[in-house]
A and B are shown apart, each in its own frame.
Chain A
Amino acid sequence: MSHKVVTTVNGRRYEHEVEPRLLLVHHLRDNLGLTGTHIGCDTTQCGACTILLDGQAVKSCNLFAVQAEGRSLTTIEGMAKDGQLHPIQQAFWDEHGLQCGYCTPGFIMAAAYLLAENPNPTEDDIRRGFEGNLCRCTGYVNIIKAVQTAARTMGGAEAKPATQAAERRA
């Protein structure tokens, strides 16, 4: 038996008939073609599937599509606006916060939530904020720098200068 699900994703309205067991992450990827949200595990450990649900970071592998009924979602595809990367995306690029890039959409969405809640996070806040996200390539060092840089460009008042991002923009 299928159910109707109406969602607003990245500002667009979508209507689908889905099976009750369909995971939200599969709905996004298979039905909406938003393949930027990734799947890295089957035990809700890795955070590769992180999106914003009504502004809150959630693991989309941990919800059924039907649970998103009537809600507003943001995925990685909704971050850049008018052909401009979002400051967090830009900071990941500037600070080399990614290597293979598979975990990256999840980290960026988790960072978006973190900075919305706490515009001036300490390094410890950032580390704790990423408790549910795994990266196997970067050793996290540059991911943390990227969030510090993003906090600064987004106007967090006391965020410490991270590195010489400008110098890298060779």
Chain B
Amino acid sequence: MAVSTLIGAKIHRREDPRLVSGRGRYVDDMQPTNVLHAAFIRSPYGHAKISRIDLTEATKAPGVEAIYTARDFEKILQGAMPVTNSFVADKKQPIGWAYIAKDETRYQGEIVAVVLARGRDEAADAASLVQVDYKPMTPVVDIDGAVAKGSPTAHSGIPDNIAWDTTVGGGDVKAAFAEADVVVKQRILQQRLFPIAMEGRALVVEYTPIENKLTMWSSTQVPHWVRLCLTLATGIPESNIRVIAPDVGGGFGSKIHIYPEEYLAAAASKLSGQAVKWVEERSENLTATHHGRAQIFDIEVAAKKDGTLLGYKVTQYVDTGAYVSVFSSFQCSAYAIAEGAYDLKNVEFRTVGVLTNTTPTDAYRGAGRPEATHAIERGIDLVARELGMDPVEIRRKNFTKKFPHTNYLGLIYDTGDYDKALTKALEIANYSELRRRQEDLRKQGKLIGIGLSTWIEVCGFGPGQGHATTFAQIAAETLGIPYDQTEVRTGDTGDTPFGYGTYGSRSLHVGGSAVLMSSRKVVDKAKKLAAHLLEAADEDVVFEGGRFYVKGSPDRAKTMGEIAFAAHRDNLPPGMEHGLEATTYYDPPDLSWPFGAHVCVVEVDPETGAVKLQRYVAVDDCGNVINPMIVEGQVHGGVVQGIGQALFEEVLYDHETGQLKTGTLREYMVPTANEIPEFVTERTVTPSITNPLGAKGIGEAGTIASSIAVINAVCDALTPLGIKHIDMPATSDRVWKLIKEAGK
């Protein structure tokens, strides 16, 4: 990209003045008059039969307008929830996910009835009067329980709990393991997590009869998908549905699913003839909004004595929860980058989807990539330890060094320089000094650990926050107009063409490229028009600094503004249409592969097991950077979410009842400013060759690398005690128990 003034600059985010002054527009801030408030009645059990629903008392409650159950919705919502994803096509058990439970409920939080009332509190009061008689059944709440022989099934009438079982691979894994000097094996837990966007989900929806139109405001990451799915479910044509995502208070994947509430609220508006509003409460959110991770990895790594990696076998169990969710293919996407940053061709990856009586799982920040990175980075550390090698040395030895690189599945990595990122991270962290200090402190009985992770990611299918700013920077730069004169609109299906939304760190890579290409189309057209007005040949016109002029006479210039105005007047070249607009649907020809290296230093207290983070260094490479301030912010957020997983967060279910044991934020620890160390974020720049911006996604980088950097550091700290592995979250309790056992 040419020398630029706007691209790469730390420009202030333009959405911020509104947001810092309390003038954001989140869905709950909309207070339409004459709206009915919805309350959902949800099953309190993991698995139960519904024997009777009695609405007598609830119907009489003050303010109640209507109460609906499964039967009412049958007239309006067709079949089961539309599942939009191709992966589900080859699942073993095609299990439909009903919009609302009729005879059986399969997770705590599954909806059985909907109350509409004039006020929020009235809806809640009436909901508490709905009498549902349940016959509780034995639930299965985790992978081990669900795959065990003779275990109960999550759904009545299915033979077992396996939703899918698929193996992919490349190279000759058998030969690689036969040739190996060492093979390490490890079971690794990816515990279940709550995504916890600070704003829960929220909806306002209005159906207008006669016109047969539906307008929905939803706190969603994917308004165009919501519209499509509403069409599939209700039969209302897409052109009659408008979905608007106003300000969205965080998503992290939890708002890419199209949820039962969206269909049911839309249908309830149609049934009642009135607008309907619903705002999810936090405790409701913890059962009703999808969870993340919930996986187990069994890994085997084969290597030569000198540390050369030979082969890699993985079995991934994914706890799908009670239903296979819309984007759960992200849940198994770990296979795509199983071998991480290493040149390793002999790989076998088996993924098994397991149904349980828990909230369905789906993409959560990083979706598949943190899991893949965790597994291989844990594996390579275990090999290094087995061989007495330094974790740095073994990584350098095995890095993929030539690009473009074709991985074991045939995916092409565009560009990379993994050693550069690692070297920089080690320099900043002062690695050799750290190791020296570690040795000294170990002699004094102190448990210091240094953890590394080198990560790669595949982008092109991603949440970009701050795109109003980033996109405007790109457009202003290319069009040669002041940044202040651009406006970015997203999130409303009414005035934007179809887009897949923001997930998988795709905003910049895909959306940004589309903005760039559209801007270039506009410049091309404007140039033709300028040539016409300046009475010159197209090729003689120069575009520079927002002005068009004929070569050699820069004084007689037309500005982009003048051209835009002229484009709506009559003096156009023959055949040219009015207006200065362009639309681009950008489908990147290939994926882009950001990467990086993180170093974490921890101290473990041998008495209490408490893990203290001492230092965190993140070096990330996401190609050309449009706005470094936004990139850095995304890395900070991601790193902290990863630290949360490594040390604090875990969703737990009661085995008997299938109910959450961590049902509020009191039991589930979201990291606060107190738990987080100061950290250093740095960059290397290796531009992508697969998109015109040279950019790669970054939204998830921090999360991908951080949980494993922390865990590798904790394992390193515990090495003198003979401890090889610890599962997440490494709470003081868990660490303390391991230390006690090791001492026996």
Chain A residues at the B interface, C-beta cutoff of 8 Å: 19, 21, 26, 29-30, 33-43, 45-46, 48, 75-77, 79-80, 85, 89, 92-94, 96, 98-105, 108, 123, 126-128, 130-131, 133-144, 167-170
Contacts and interface: CB of A to CB of B under 8 A. Distances in A.
B121 A134 contact: no
Contact of A75 (B22, B196, B676): B22
Given A96-B629, A98-B19, A136 B666 contact: no
A38 B26 contact: yes
Given A36-B21, A46-B198, A101 B247 contact: yes
Contacts of B247: 100-102
B674 A128 contact: yes
Describe B's contact surface by its main secondary structure: loop
Contacts of B29: 29, 35
Contacts of A131: 672-674
Contact of A140 (B10, B21, B676): B676
Interface stretch (B505-513, B527-535, B598-606, B635-643): B635-643
Nearest to B639: A139
27 contacts: A33-B31, A36-B21, A36-B22, A38-B198, A38-B199, A39-B28, A40-B199, A40-B282, A75-B22, A77-B21, A79-B22, A92-B16, A99-B250, A99-B466, A99-B637, A100-B249, A101-B15, A108-B20, A123-B678, A128-B674, A135-B198, A136-B252, A139-B639, A139-B641, A139-B676, A142-B633, A170-B9
Which bracket fits the contact residues of B? 35 or more
Contact of B670 (A34, A96, A105, A134): A134
Of A35, A38, A101, A167, most buried by chain B (CB within 10 Å of CB) is A101
B517 to A, nearest CB: 25
Nearest to B9: A170
Nearest to A147: B673
B569 interface: no
Contacts of A136: 196-198, 250, 252, 637, 641, 670
B268 interface: no
Given A141-B679, A142-B636, A100 B250 contact: yes
A93 B10 CA distance: 12
A102 B18 CA distance: 11
Interface string B654-686: 000000000011100010111010110000000
Contacts of B282: 40-43, 46
B636 A141 contact: yes
A161 to B, nearest CB: 16
A138 B21 contact: no
B640 A140 contact: yes
Nearest to B200: A40
Of B28, B247, B633, most buried by chain A (CB within 10 Å of CB) is B633
Contacts of A39: 28
B283 interface: yes
B640 A168 contact: no
Interface in B1-46: 9-13, 15-17, 19-24, 26, 28-29, 31
Contact of B665 (A36, A46, A126): A46
Interface of B: 9-13, 15-17, 19-24, 26, 28-29, 31, 120-121, 196-200, 247-250, 252, 281-283, 465-466, 629-630, 632-641, 664-666, 670, 672-674, 676, 678-679, 702
B229 to A, nearest CB: 24
Contacts of B21: 36, 76-77, 79-80, 85, 89
Given A77-B22, A101-B15, A170-B10, A140 B199 contact: no
- 9 closest A-B pairs by beta carbon, nearest first, are A36-B22, A102-B249, A101-B19, A139-B636, A76-B22, A139-B640, A35-B29, A45-B665, A41-B282
B12 A169 contact: yes
A105 B629 contact: no
A29 B664 CA distance: 24
Contacts of B666: 43, 45
Given A43-B665, A76-B21, A102-B249, 6 more contacts: A35-B31, A37-B22, A38-B249, A98-B16, A102-B24, A131-B674
A62 B15 CA distance: 30
A46 B673 CA distance: 12
Given A77-B21, A136-B641, A103 B198 contact: yes
Nearest to B644: A136
A34 B22 contact: yes
Contacts of A127: 673-674
A18 B160 CA distance: 55
A134 B198 contact: yes
Contacts of B28: 29, 35, 39
A45 B674 CA distance: 14
A168 B670 contact: no
A134 B672 contact: yes
B22 A105 contact: yes
A133 B672 contact: yes
Nearest to A40: B198
A102 B16 CA distance: 11
A108 B665 CA distance: 22
Contacts of B664: 41-43, 45
